[in-house]
Amino acid sequence: MAGNELMRLIEAIDRLAAGGFAVGADWQAVHDICQRHEGEQPFDWGHALCHRIEGDDWNADYWYRRAGKTRGTGTMADEWSVMRAELSSKA
């Protein structure tokens, strides 16, 4: 996994967060990045977050399992805070 791709994911989710985690162009950008890196834990976690935002819990839970994570119980911002710290340490 290239660190620059992980930074692209972080930056894309930062934009998604700045927009209030709304489904739209920023959501699609995150989803596209994650799909290109399917099978890589950080990107599968991002994929899970996308489907949680979308409200598709079944699909989100599938991606959380693939990422070795569990769905957050707090806000999207809370989950992104934890996720961002972990991803930044790997980038």
More confidently predicted of 72 and 39: 39
Q: What six digits make up the tokens of 70?
A: 């569990």
The per-residue pLDDT for range 29-59, each reduced to its tens digit, is: 999 999 999 999 999 999 999 999 999 999 9
Q: Which residues contact 32 (CB under 8 A, 6 or more apart)?
A: none
Measured CA to CA in angstroms, residue 37 lies from 22, 42, 55, 63, 74 at distances of 22, 9, 22, 12, 26
Structure confidence at residue 91 (pLDDT): 83
Instruction: State how far the Cα of 40 lies from the Cα of 54, in Å rounded to an integer.
Output: 21
Output the pLDDT for position 3.
75
pLDDT at 1 over 70: no
Average pLDDT, the chain: 95
pLDDT of residue 2: 62
Cβ atoms of residues 3 and 80 within 8 Å: no
Alpha-helical runs (H) found in 1-91 = 3-18, 25-36, 41-54, 57-67, 76-90
